[in-house]
Structure 1
Amino acid sequence: MDFKAARRRMVDSQVRTNDVTDLRLQTALETIPRENFLPAGLRDQAYVERELAYAPGRAMMTVRDFAKLVDAADPAAGDLCLAVAAGTGYSTAVLARLVDMVVAVEGDEALAAAAQENLTRLGVSNAAVLNTDNAKGAADQGPYDLIFIDGVIEKRPEALLAQLKDGGRLAAIQRKNDVSRGVIYWRSGDAFGCKEKFDASVKIVLPGFAAEKTFVF
């Protein structure tokens, strides 16, 4: 399979056509080999527009949802970014092209090791992967201009929001009542706001970010 051509088609048909116009992001998506962050058996599906489950409870977002979420997060060249639930490192690699430094956290030891190996192989020098609880983040490395959660959450990520700088923002796919939406939280002093940015198709909720089950009688 010609992965380089597939990446070019991905940007032309799945990114630009969904109102993602940031040229820096388009270049990162066209350059970074998405297939290298998937198990061998899934690599030929890397550019198919669907959620790709690669480990228990873990999935790579659709191209469209991922691109729109990064675009909505508005990563800036001078940002310190926290990448949460880094998985095998794809989102970290993309963000590292757009910000100053990425601190990535991944709770699964094997995935964290794979992420660091993938980033090292690509020569990404402004990102580091920590094997620690995703939901707790890495407060001692912050505060952060941007926090990017690479997956679906069902509840407000309080511990992560507390790690934002004043004026910082947090990007995630939030699922409520069986509907997924890309959202941006932002911090203003001790207050936080949230805005829904787009409807998303991804559904697999990250471990540690599911809403508590309630019983209805």
Structure 2
Amino acid sequence: MHLNIFIVLLFLLFSGGDSLMCYECKNLMGSCVAEQVLCPSGTVCASTTTSMNILGNKAMNISTKGCVLPESCGSLSLNYGLVRTATSVQCCKTHLCNIQHADSTSDRPNGKQCYSCDGTNCSHKLDCLGIEDHCIRSIETTKALTRTLKGCASKTICDNVQHMNDRFKSHLCCKGNLCNTEENLRYMKTILHLWDDEDNLWDAEDNLWDAEDNL
């Protein structure tokens, strides 16, 4: 019996079929030989491709394989004009199904435009690519400087900006052609603060009702 088939059958016998066998390749640069690993329960097999372009030229392309949580599957793209980073996480749910490398995300213009920055000038119009369907503004604040970056982003980036752990202190997204002007972003920030204030009022009212019930 082929060794790989034997390993899978043996794994299924003792795991009860709750987990997957997947290919894993952790070498970030260059090629690597994928190994077969037992994934934790609740995860799926995945192939991941991450590319970085600087000034329109491909600077890095990384392919990995392994086990991921289902919510990590999908594609994301963040494009500030000078630098664009895109990741594709292609998932599958059968044993050793991630043998192929993930396809790169599309780099074709999709018809949407957002403002981008070149130094302090943030009036440049940037053509969004592939899945980039939102505009974004990011602010980096350090002891030495405060820097603003603008560009295009995918929905998957904007849905998770509050949880992004990077050097930027704030991110703000909007959906609409050239919507990331300072005027529009200030208006959006005001609306978000109003929603937060309303949520706080509801929380305060709930606390009053709870206190009254305890009397």
TM tier, shorter chain?
under 0.3
The TM-score, its normalising length taken from structure 1, stands at 0.26
Bigger CA radius of gyration:
2
The TM-score, its normalising length taken from structure 2, stands at 0.26
- Whose strand proportion is higher, 1 or 2? 2
- Whose helix proportion is higher, 1 or 2? 1
Structure with the greater relative contact order (CA < 8 A, sep ≥ 6): 1 or 2? 1
